[in-house]
Amino acid sequence: MAGVTVGVDVGGTKIQSAALRAKKVAGAYRAATPQTGAADVATAIIESVQKALAEAGAAPTDLRAVGIGAPGQIDREAGTVASSPNLPGFQGVDPVDLGSLVSKGLAGVPVTLDNDVRVAILGEWRRGAGRPFKDVLGVWVGTGVGGGLVLDGVLREGHGAAGEIGHTIVKPGGRICSDGRRGHLEAYAGRGRMEARARSLVKRGHSTVLFEIMKKKGRTRVSSGVIAEALEREDPMTLTLIEDAVWALGVALASAQNLLDLEAIIIGGGLGDRLGTPFVARIAKEMEPNLFVPDRPPVMLTTEFGDLSGAVGAATLVGG
């Protein structure tokens, strides 16, 4: 059975691979990201590719190529990663040659790299929820809020920074964003900034079950799962944080819609996937009063592949 490509989504905590045959997911594999340096990360990626291949019932010689989505600064030509704050061994400004490290461990198959959020949005657009559309905005709500913009069937590059919907100004002078500026969408809807706000509210005497759930789950961060559980328990602080996030997404996405006249918006990312359809429906409702052409709103979608979006998209980098 020839012709398998594998896509790998490399994150700070997990490495997710998917093996694609005839453009369909035939196998997948997930492992923890080693916290011990670049060489170990490369080895873990290689193992993950081999396991995904095996899951797909494919032999190592069936592997045609590997695509990798990674956070940080990616040089696609060189196949390198640099300045990736959450990826152990890749934090420095000196580029690490991840592409050739992985290629060497896999009998020299071609390896192509790209940015993790771009790749995930490519996956959903090419193979998932975005398939029917030519004009799509992907909004990845996770630790931060990333984005990717497909217009007339082409993923917009700009000079490399197009699609940064997370840095739309929703409230001038508002909450501080991860980039130090104020009032950005990410300051309200990014999981990282939500956690920071929750910690600051607790310091000021407010109560929440968020950190109790976090400890119970053995986590050190307020993950999407922690937020989802707090929501189920109707924790007032979490309800308000999500209300703020929905409000901010409604403002930013309505402005983007008014400027771009899109066909569809896909909400993905860790938090987006976890909160799913009800979250997307609330965002759609929040956008409504702000739309310039209210009788033709964009189709609002969840992802089809969930946390496999990135791995599937990475595979499409190499024809998967």
Do 214 and 238 form a contact (C-beta atoms < 8 A)?
no
Do 24 and 70 form a contact (C-beta atoms < 8 A)?
no
Angle at 83 between CA 127 and CA 151, to 5 degrees: 35
Site string for a second copy, 116-135 (x = CB under 8 A): -------------------x
Rg (CA), the chain: 20
Q: Does the footprint of a second copy cover residue 85 (CB under 8 A)?
A: no
With CA atoms as reference, report the closest residue to 267 among 309, 313, 296.
309
Q: Does the footprint of a second copy cover residue 274 (CB under 8 A)?
A: no
CA distance 234 to 213: 13
Tell me the CA distances in angstroms from 167 to 53, 138, 269, 303, one per residue in order: 38, 14, 16, 22
Do 9 and 140 form a contact (C-beta atoms < 8 A)?
no
**Stretch touching a second copy by CB under 8 A, among 65-73, 146-154, 198-206, 220-228:** 146-154
Candidates 156, 216, 217, 221: give the one binding a second copy (CB under 8 A): 156
Q: Does the footprint of a second copy cover residue 159 (CB under 8 A)?
A: yes
With CA atoms as reference, report the closest residue to 111 among 197, 195, 46.
46
Q: Does the footprint of a second copy cover residue 93 (CB under 8 A)?
A: no
Beta bridge pairs of residue 70: 115
Q: Could you tell me the smallest distance in angstroms from the CB atom of residue 314 to a second copy?
A: 22
Site string for a second copy, 230-259 (x = CB under 8 A): -----------------x---xx-xxx-xx
- How many residues of this chain bind a second copy (CB under 8 A)? 41
Q: Could you tell me the smallest distance in angstroms from the CB atom of residue 73 to a second copy?
A: 12
With CA atoms as reference, report the closest residue to 149 among 48, 233, 263, 43.
263
Q: Could you tell me the smallest distance in angstroms from the CB atom of residue 300 to a second copy?
A: 16
Q: Could you tell me the smallest distance in angstroms from the CB atom of residue 102 to a second copy?
A: 29
Q: Could you tell me the smallest distance in angstroms from the CB atom of residue 162 to a second copy?
A: 4
Q: Does the footprint of a second copy cover residue 158 (CB under 8 A)?
A: yes
Q: Could you tell me the smallest distance in angstroms from the CB atom of residue 278 to a second copy?
A: 22
Task: List residues near a second copy by CB under 8 A.
Answer: 135, 147, 149, 151-152, 154, 156-165, 167-172, 179, 181, 247, 251-252, 254-256, 258-263, 289-290, 292-293, 296
